Amino acid sequence: MDWGTAIVGLISILICIVPFVIMYYNRIKKENKMLQSLNEIAQQHNCKIGQHEFCGDFILGIDENRNFVFFFKQKKEEAISQFVDLSEIQTCQAVKKTRNVKNDIGSLGFIERVELRFTPTNKNKGETKFELYDEETNMQLSGELQFVDKWTKQINDRLKNKK
């Protein structure tokens, strides 16, 4: 094999690999920025994020010592940050709003919205909702259903243990 063919092959491989490397570094940069924003929200409430998880354009974290849950979502032009004190929460629910569309074959179900809903123990306070997915702003689901089920179970386990 001559050197010219090897160089052309190496350049071709690099052209194929470079876009994936750039996408990886951009994702890591975006996740670090979201984690930094979540940590800033937690610090404002004298908390420290012990466990966190990314999913799409949002991050959810929990301070296990003080029992706070923090949420940060980066939409196109706005950033949404919310928190919940679990000592004031009765239950946590996974809310999956669906819409059915009928066609010639039958009925199809589409998920319109996925939320994590917190019901307070004090009935005078309103519910807190973390919007994980909305079909108007997101084109498709990217793990939100599994995410909401996992965190609902984890948070409800913490709520049971505090009693």
Tens-place pLDDT, residues 53-93 = 998 889 999 998 899 999 999 887 888 999 999 989 999 99
Question: 65 is in which domain, residue-wise?
Answer: 3-162
Average pLDDT over residues 102-123: 85
Question: In the 3-class helix/strand/coil scheme, how is the chain assigned residue by residue?
Answer: CCHHHHHHHHHHHHHHHHHHHHHHHHHHHHHHHHHHHHHHHHHHCCCCCCEEEEECCEEEEEECCCCEEEEEEECCCCEEEEEEEHHHEEEEEEEEEEEEEECCCCEEEEEEEEEEEEEECCCCCCCEEEEEEECCCCCCCCCHHHHHHHHHHHHHHHHHHHC
Give backbone dihedrals phi and psi of 50, rounded to 5 degrees, phi first: -100, -35
Total of domains in the chain: 1
The 10 Å Cβ neighbour count of residue 141 is: 16
Pairing of strands 68-74, 58-63: antiparallel
In whole angstroms, what is the distance from residue 131 CA to residue 64 CA? 22
Strand partners, 116: 94, 130
pLDDT of res. 1? 63
Burial class, 14, CB count within 10 angstroms (exposed 0-12 / middle 13-18 / buried 19+): exposed
Q: Any idea which residue has 């404002």 for tokens?
A: 44
Confidence of residue 108 (pLDDT cuts 50, 70, 90): confident
Low-confidence winner among 39-43, 123-127, 144-148, 153-157 (lowest mean pLDDT):
123-127
